[in-house]
C-alpha cells in the first residue's frame, strides 16, 4: 500500500517536472515568486487601518499590529503589540511629515446630514495633514458646479488638523439649492484630494 502510494507520488512529481520544463510555466513561477516577495516586503513596510468596534480609546479605527516594526513615511515606529488609535498615530507621526502631499485623513463628512441650511448650522468636516489652500467645490447631480467655498492656508478650512467649514445652502447665484444629494470635492492645486456627499433637506 505504502509502496503504491510512494510510486504515485514519484509519478506525480516526474509529471510535474515535465510540465515545469515548459517555458511558460517557469516564467509564471518566477513571476509568482517575485510577486510573493514584493507582497511580503510591502506588508513589512505598510500600515493599515482596520475598523475596530471598541478600541482602547473607543475611537473608530486602530492600527494593525500584525507586523512590527512598521514604517510610516520616513519614520520608524515600533508598536510593541499596542493598539494605537488613528488620531494618536496621525497627530503624533503623520502630521509631522512636512514634505508629504496635502491629504485628508480619515475621510470627510458634513454634519448634520441631511440638513436644512436655513435652520441648521451645516458644516463640512475634514482633517488635513498640513496647512494648505483648499477649495470645496459642490456639484449637483447634473455634474454642474453649483458652489465654491475657498479656504485659505492656515485659516479655518485650510489648517492642519480638524477643520469645520460652514455651508449656507445657496448656489453661486444666491439661489437656495433644492432638496437632494450633492457631491463635493476638496480641491488643492486644482486636484481633488477627497470626495464627500452632502444632503439638503429643507424643513
By CB under 8 A, name the binding residues for another protein: 58-60, 87, 106, 109-114, 123, 125, 127, 137, 139-145, 148, 162, 164, 171-181, 183, 185, 187, 190-192, 195, 197-199, 201-203
- CA distances 116 to 108, 120, 122, 124, Å, are 19, 6, 8, 14
Indicate the residue among 60 and 67 with the shorter CB distance to another protein.
60
Judge whether 45 and 70 are in contact, CB under 8 Å: yes
What's 170's DSSP letter? B
Indicate the residue among 30 and 189 with the shorter CB distance to another protein.
189
State the nearest-atom distance from the C-beta of 144 to another protein, in Å.
Answer: 4
State the nearest-atom distance from the C-beta of 50 to another protein, in Å.
Answer: 16
Question: Three-state DSSP class for 127?
Answer: strand
Indicate the residue among 30 and 121 with the shorter CB distance to another protein.
121
State the nearest-atom distance from the C-beta of 109 to another protein, in Å.
Answer: 4
Judge whether 151 and 188 are in contact, CB under 8 Å: no
State the nearest-atom distance from the C-beta of 67 to another protein, in Å.
Answer: 27
Indicate the residue among 47 and 126 with the shorter CB distance to another protein.
126
Burial class (CB in 10 A: 0-12, 13-18, 19+), 140: middle
What's 19's DSSP letter? H
State the nearest-atom distance from the C-beta of 182 to another protein, in Å.
Answer: 9
Amino acid at each position: 500500500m505504502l509502496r503504491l502510494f510512494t510510486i504515485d507520488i514519484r509519478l506525480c512529481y516526474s509529471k510535474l517536472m515535465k510540465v515545469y520544463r515548459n517555458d511558460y510555466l517557469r516564467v509564471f513561477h518566477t513571476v509568482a515568486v517575485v510577486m510573493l516577495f514584493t507582497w511580503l516586503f510591502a506588508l513589512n513596510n505598510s500600515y493599515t487601518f482596520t475598523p475596530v468596534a471598541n478600541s482602547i480609546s473607543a475611537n473608530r479605527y486602530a492600527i494593525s499590529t500584525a507586523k512590527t516594526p512598521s514604517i510610516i513615511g520616513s519614520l520608524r515606529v515600533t508598536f510593541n503589540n499596542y493598539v494605537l488609535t488613528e488620531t494618536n498615530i496621525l497627530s503624533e507621526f503623520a502630521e509631522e511629515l512636512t514634505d508629504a502631499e496635502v491629504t485628508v485623513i480619515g475621510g470627510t463628512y458634513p454634519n448634520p446630514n441631511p440638513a436644512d441650511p436655513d435652520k441648521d448650522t451645516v458644516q463640512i468636516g475634514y482633517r488635513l495633514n498640513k496647512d494648505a489652500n483648499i477649495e470645496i467645490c459642490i456639484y449637483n447631480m447634473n455634474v454642474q458646479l453649483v458652489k465654491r467655498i475657498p479656504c485659505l492656508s492656515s485659516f479655518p478650512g485650510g489648517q492642519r488638523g480638524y477643520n469645520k467649514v460652514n455651508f449656507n445652502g445657496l448656489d453661486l447665484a444666491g439661489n437656495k439649492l433644492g432638496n437632494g444629494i450633492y457631491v463635493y470635492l476638496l480641491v488643492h492645486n486644482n486636484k481633488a484630494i477627497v470626495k464627500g456627499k452632502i444632503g439638503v433637506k429643507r424643513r
